Structure 1
Amino acid sequence: MQTDANVVHINKGTPEQTPTSPLGRLPVALIQVRDKAAQQLKQALQALFDNADDTLFEMADRATSNAEQNTFFEAMRDLRLKRKSIERTFLQKVFESFSLLNQYEIGKPPQLDAVSFESLSLVQNDELEESVAVDAMVAKVNNRDGVALGHLTTRLNTLVTKKVDDRANPLGPRVLCESFLDACRTLGVEIRVKLIILKLFEKYVLSEFGELYAEANEVLVAAGVLPELKSAAPAPRPQGRSPATRASGLSASGQASGVPAGSYAEGDMQEVFGVLQDLLSQVRGTALPQRELPADAIPISSNDLMRLLSHLQQHLPTQQYDEFDVRDKLENLLTRVSAKSGKSRVVGQMDDDVINLVSMLFEFILDDRTLPDSLKALIGRLQIPMLKVAVLDKTFFSRGSHPARRLLNEIASAAMGWSEQDDAQRDSLYQKIEQVVQRLLNDFVDDPALFSDLLADFLAFTGDERRRSELLEQRTRDAEEGRAKAILARQQVEQALNERLLGRTLPEVVVRLLEEAWSKVLLLTRLKHGQDSAEWRAALATMDDLIWSVESHDEPEDRLRLLELVPGLLKSLRDGLSSAAFDPFSTGNFFSQLEALHVQAFQRFKRPLDDEPVAEPSADETTPGNGLPVLDLPLALDIPAEPPAMVEVVEEIVLLAPGEVPVVEPETVLAEGDSALKQVDSLRVGSWVEFQEDAEHKVRCKLAAVIKPTGKYIFVNRTGMKVLEKTRMGLAVEFRRGAVRLLDDALLFDRALESVIGNLRRLKGA
């Protein structure tokens, strides 16, 4: 019985087909394959998008410029917005690929299998990079899962009328890669971001194709389609083995277990482990000692080596681990084994190479200045578990996603900000790492799945810690930015006061009123409304009017201006001081003295006041009980007045926040092109550094923010709490005298492997 291919059997994640779509009809078994595959692909895509944010954020965090960082942030936003659309489009294309299996395409030009080198210049660079990336991804899948894919293609050809090859198989890597690329065409991202997304597609989607093909073949075999191919199908997933071991296809003895020649694991081994072996062979006997083996030496199996390593693992010393030599201990065990058996037993050459390489890796790790010494001792105890993993699975050296490698990298990354403490045992991070190490030493025998479990648990722990520290770090940044705004506003108020007062002789009460009271009004106005606001200009104008009103004036028009100015001036002063919640008692005292100053200003005029009109005081100025002096100018003229106390402003006005003590940072001025200044300018937010406070104390901290208005560099500890604050020049001076060191936050295992390869190459050339 057949059913219509228009029927969609997965949840709403796939767009509905229209009744008029020119689709062929598919056998029921093929529809089951399609629906099951679509569901698996949908789940894999969700994993891709769930992890894309973290990957792009990490790339943004490592960006060397603001433009590059913004590129990754924009890509994150674009991907979030278009995620559902990409998923729908991709699954739609999967369904269309299946529907075309029973339908000949008319008028479609044949596809070329290859492109000549002469024509490459006609292809856009971006398209060429995409094409190269897709070709590499397809080649990996074909090498790894080629047999299973071939079986699936053969079975498809018995069910459909159209001839299908691996390239046209709707579940083939090329078809699915191209479908994903087409679905991503709407993304407005640069080619480097698109290549990152393609790598994520390879990691989370293509890596599952072995299981996809195995299950598709099982469905067709159950439907009676070429069951005779079943014996040649790829081996099902062994129970209790980790993804790393399954991908490598290696059993505990190191032999291939059901994986065809030229598999992904073998290719990776040749790519990295093979290179390492070749380098070791070239320096053996010169830079490295040549093994002198007895004539009757018999190599032990990898299984036997694992048992010996497990014995050593259970008898690791708790103290002075750096003096524990795995190779020496292993040689002692082999000597005892040889004595019992009467035959000389040695480690096989491949396993010996693995031991050498892991020893070199851990030599780098234990010498690494980025790791705190206390945590180095803990991490060093992982050498034997890591060695056992490498014996089991050579992709340990080549696969960055290997759970054991990732666990080591995550521990080192978390340890980056850890500072030596008097009581390390009470620190939650130290306790967690110690727990992970002890669990591996106690429980790890030969099942690498334990690493995956511990990795998931450790990531959950560090994720919680990171979220808490990020929250506190953000609060620290917000507080510093607010403080910087306040400092900048205070500097502008100081500038405004000094421009008007410095070098002038004015009544003491006016100077105090402006410096102690009106400065607060200016500061609040600047913070609330900004320096370009009408409110800020009005506050400055009030200050200018007050200064003018207490200066000496002889012209008749000045008298008229003063008469018109005083009522509004007093109201503006009163409103401003009230909005700043200035002390009412001090306010009343200021206004009493100010009234006397204005009375004396009118008494200085020579013409009698009766000949001139007198400005009526405003209601605000004459309202009794408001706590302010009432200025009745006609009566005030009869009051004898003493000359006011005058003061010359000779020192710059400096405003301090409550409780703030002026700090003058001694600063050596370096030339702008100085290398230390370049080091400071190369720092990015998120960089970890170590400050040498004195001979015994060091502080590890992360650059959390660069506050541009004040030029301050703010450093926090791993909990997000502020620990240091430096200026650009002050930080450069610290770099110059060697008191600060930038910590390398690249992945620990990758740095160690790079160092080992570099050292072997140097030894080869020596």
Structure 2
Amino acid sequence: MEKHVMLESGFTPSEPGNESSAIVIDWGIHKDIVEECQRRFSNTLPSFCEALFAQVDEDIYRLIKASTSEARRTLLFESMWRFQERHQEIQDEYLRIAPQWFFSEYHLQEDFPDLDDDDDDEEESFAWSSDKDKLEDEARLSLLDDKQLEENVALTTTISQANQAFARELFALEERFASMQGKPVKSAATMPISPVLLANTLRDILDAWDDEVIVRITIYQSLSKTFSKYLKTLYRDTNSYLKNRGILPNLKTNHIRNVSYEHQPHQADSPSPEFTATTSRGANLPDVWYQFQGGAPVIQSASNPALPVLPRYEVLQTLSQLQASVLSEVDTDQIDWNSVQEHLRQQVNQALCLNDQGQPTQRVERNDQQVIEVIFRLFDHILGDDTIPSTIRTLLGRLQIPVLKTAIQDPTFVDNETHAARQLLDSIASASIGSNSSDKAFHNQVKQIVERIVEEYEDDMAVFEDTLHGFERYLQTREKAQKIKEQRITQAIAGKEQLAVAKQKISDLLDSPVLATAPQAVQDIINKPWADFLTLVLLREGEEGKAWKKAIAVTQAVEQYFDPDVTDADRQQFRASIPGIMKAFQQGLDYISINKAKSHEMLGQFLDAFDTVSQVSLEETRRNAPAQPPKAPPTESETAQEADKFSEMALSMPDGTWIRVIGKGDQPPLVCKLVWHSQFTHTMLFVDGNGHKALQIKDIQLAEQLRNGTAEIIADASVPFVTRMLNRMRNAFSTASPGNNT
């Protein structure tokens, strides 16, 4: 089991009683340099705090405007005022605590002990930039309530985003501060202006007050926005100062590792999950190419053996020159992917084989040509997959040249499911399915990954590996937040349905001809307050609860007393039960908090009905009562679905199934995932890739849409993305092959 550590809440390096816990950092001959860094940092803190306070006020006010609940608006207004009153106190604490991290190591507490002795030699996490507050261990999560989990997810997301956004700057700072300590990075003290220290210092300060969770979460989200405006300048200026003072002036950051919460083993070292696919084991890219022969080649001059062969290193150099320009300026709202791909093919052909006049002057070696063909056709299918938002497809399209280069160097790309470039494509695509433009954080995360690869990748796979590891860690936090959203939506819908089912059950229970002919006072109390009481008891205790069984017995006793078929002599024998009935109704009305005066009035009229009723009056009421219209029989669509494969598909659809619903007109398709299917009302709830409610539909309606082709199940959604695209390539080729009769 891995270790998870949290920054100890409430700890400050100079707090009385904590001196023994604080670790004093000895900077030796570099003390004056560190003091200058501390001074510069302290000078910028007031403006940082002011920016944070302004952002928090703006974000809370936005929540107030968006709220439809008066109580919630009042709560948020009060929280905003309380926070504004504490501005100076928070700033003073920040100015007191944060600069001290330059000379005092932040005390760490072991949040979840390592129970696996075999992991003792495992590589330690990055000491300066790891997120010590990451809550990814399921055992620990089970000890947290939803509010704690939401708050910690917000905090770790803020730290993660800053680590990713400033990975290069953080790497340089970590190396330089470690150098001044004379230690390697992994054993040096925490870098004093790292996102994890800045964020957790704020958390420690906020722990002194009992704020609403939504306010704490908003503050952390505001902190993330303030980081994006503040940290880049701080890190750049600090690095520049240290460099000018001779601290690692020649440090290279082209191939840095992404900053992450903590070290985890390389995911590629473990076998990938099993999946259902038609991948041909042992095949490499040239093998796959033979399946696609017959199409127009990318390299038009490849078939002329008289032309000289372009060496592979020149092929890679030429592709590198194109790398930055591919899909760098594309309007995703008006994009024709076929035209985009055709233009890129022409660019590659021109760059590799043609002169300025468009005449072929050289050719690409046969194996390299085959790799180019397969990768371009692979991306044709990737860019044509409308389950992924157009904005993300554009970003994936920018990876064509880097993927092409790595595939030329390693033709097993097609069948190596642990290949870092392939895993990265799989991860981005899988996380993108069903998402939309509202998820700005996810889009920015993918954009940063793509921009780094396009900028840095030459031939070192470490760039793909680093971005893959960082993205996987980001996804862990994102997926936890999505699960919380899905659970909330499901609970809300399920709660509404349980209420509707309970009300219908009570309505059926009280839909009695006897109660319909009872005195009006009886009907008034039975059909409203008593029905509400029965509904509440049923929801809280279920049909096996004692209170429910007692309430049903009392209802049946009332029904029996006012039955017109009961003689007055027999009814007289029931009078002994009236005090018990009245007591039960009194308790029921109290249970649902009926106004005392109204309750007293209704119970008085109810008691009078017991005293004045007679068989004659009840029979007369029954004779004079208007005839009740017969209940309409349920329609065929309500009683049973058409017995075909589509109804079976809808009825038996498991949670987690992705579907694609064709949009109306020019609208893009709706891609969503099933998270709940009611056994009572047959309602199905689907969410989009962001965890938001996307579709609520009856299974009979979905079956009809499956039947008429306006909806379809994405049967291979669980298959790794690149494998799925290769399968589609094979299927497309098989269908288009001469002599194919399918």
TM-score norm. by structure 2 comes to 0.55
**Structure exhibiting the larger radius of gyration computed from Cα positions:** 1
CA RMSD of aligned residues (A): 4.3
Residue 329 in structure 1 maps to residue 334 in structure 2: no
Task: Tell me how far 1:551 sits from its aligned partner.
Answer: 5.1
Q: 1:588 to 1:278 in 2, by over 3 A?
A: same
Instruction: Indicate conservation of the 8 Å contact 1:550/1:597, yes or no.
Output: no
Find the aligned partners of 1:414 and 1:598 in 2 and give their Cα distance. Answer: 66
In structure 1, what is the equivalent of residue 402 of structure 2?
385
Q: 2:324 aligns with which of 294, 300, 314?
A: 314
Instruction: Indicate conservation of the 8 Å contact 2:554/2:581, yes or no.
Output: yes
Task: Tell me how far 1:365 sits from its aligned partner.
Answer: 1.4
Alignment of 1:133-172 (within 5 A): none
- Cα deviation code 1:464-511 (max 9, x no counterpart): 221101012112222333333322222221111014547x42211111
In structure 2, what is the equivalent of residue 469 of structure 1?
482
Residue 736 in structure 1 maps to residue 718 in structure 2: no
Q: 1:447 aligns with which of 428, 439, 460?
A: 460
Residue 350 in structure 1 maps to residue 367 in structure 2: yes
Residue 678 in structure 1 maps to residue 648 in structure 2: yes
Alignment of 1:236-635 (within 5 A): 271-279=283-291, 283=293, 293-294=303-304, 296-317=306-327, 318-319=329-330, 322-323=340-341, 325-335=343-353, 344-419=361-436, 421=437, 427-499=440-512, 501=514, 504-550=516-562, 557-558=569-570, 560-601=572-613
Q: 1:511 to 1:430 in 2, by over 3 A?
A: same
Letter in 2 for 1:702: K
Instruction: Indicate conservation of the 8 Å contact 2:434/2:689, yes or no.
Output: yes
Is there any run of 5+ residues in structure 2 with no aligned partner, and where?
A: 1-116, 124-135, 137-254, 259-264, 270-279
Match of 2:518, SS state, is strand
Instruction: Indicate conservation of the 8 Å contact 2:525/2:602, yes or no.
Output: yes
- Cα deviation code 1:385-430 (max 9, x no counterpart): 11011011122111101110011111111111123x4xx6x72222
Q: 1:673 to 1:653 in 2, by over 3 A?
A: closer
Instruction: Indicate conservation of the 8 Å contact 2:565/2:615, yes or no.
Output: no
- Cα deviation code 1:335-363 (max 9, x no counterpart): 567999x9943211111111011111111
Find the aligned partners of 2:615 and 2:420 in 1 and give their Cα distance. Answer: 91
Find the aligned partners of 2:483 and 2:664 in 1 and give their Cα distance. Answer: 29
Residue 747 in structure 1 maps to residue 720 in structure 2: yes
Letter in 2 for 1:404: A
Task: Tell me how far 1:594 sits from its aligned partner.
Answer: 2.3
In structure 1, what is the equivalent of residue 729 of structure 2?
756
Q: 1:595 to 1:392 in 2, by over 3 A?
A: same
Task: Tell me how far 1:269 sits from its aligned partner.
Answer: 9.9
Letter in 1 for 2:656: G
Letter in 1 for 2:611: V
Find the aligned partners of 1:496 and 1:444 in 2 and give their Cα distance. Answer: 71
TM-score norm. by structure 1 comes to 0.53
Instruction: Indicate conservation of the 8 Å contact 1:501/1:649, yes or no.
Output: no
Find the aligned partners of 1:288 and 1:505 in 2 and give their Cα distance. Answer: 85
Alignment of 1:152-231 (within 5 A): none
Aligned pair count reads 464
Find the aligned partners of 1:554 and 1:585 in 2 and give their Cα distance. Answer: 33
Letter in 2 for 1:739: T
Find the aligned partners of 1:288 and 1:323 in 2 and give their Cα distance. Answer: 10
Task: Tell me how far 1:693 sits from its aligned partner.
Answer: 5.3
Task: Tell me how far 1:700 sits from its aligned partner.
Answer: 3.0
Alignment of 1:639-658 (within 5 A): 648=625
Find the aligned partners of 2:422 and 2:640 in 1 and give their Cα distance. Answer: 43
Q: 1:544 to 1:430 in 2, by over 3 A?
A: same
Find the aligned partners of 1:649 and 1:586 in 2 and give their Cα distance. Answer: 29
In structure 2, what is the equivalent of residue 224 of structure 1?
none
Q: 1:764 to 1:544 in 2, by over 3 A?
A: closer
**Higher mean displacement: 384-393 or 700-709:** 700-709
Find the aligned partners of 1:678 and 1:554 in 2 and give their Cα distance. Answer: 50
Q: 1:386 to 1:512 in 2, by over 3 A?
A: same
Find the aligned partners of 1:241 and 1:595 in 2 and give their Cα distance. Answer: 81
Instruction: Indicate conservation of the 8 Å contact 1:691/1:740, yes or no.
Output: yes
In structure 1, what is the equivalent of residue 683 of structure 2?
712
Instruction: Indicate conservation of the 8 Å contact 1:417/1:701, yes or no.
Output: yes
Instruction: Indicate conservation of the 8 Å contact 1:296/1:343, yes or no.
Output: no
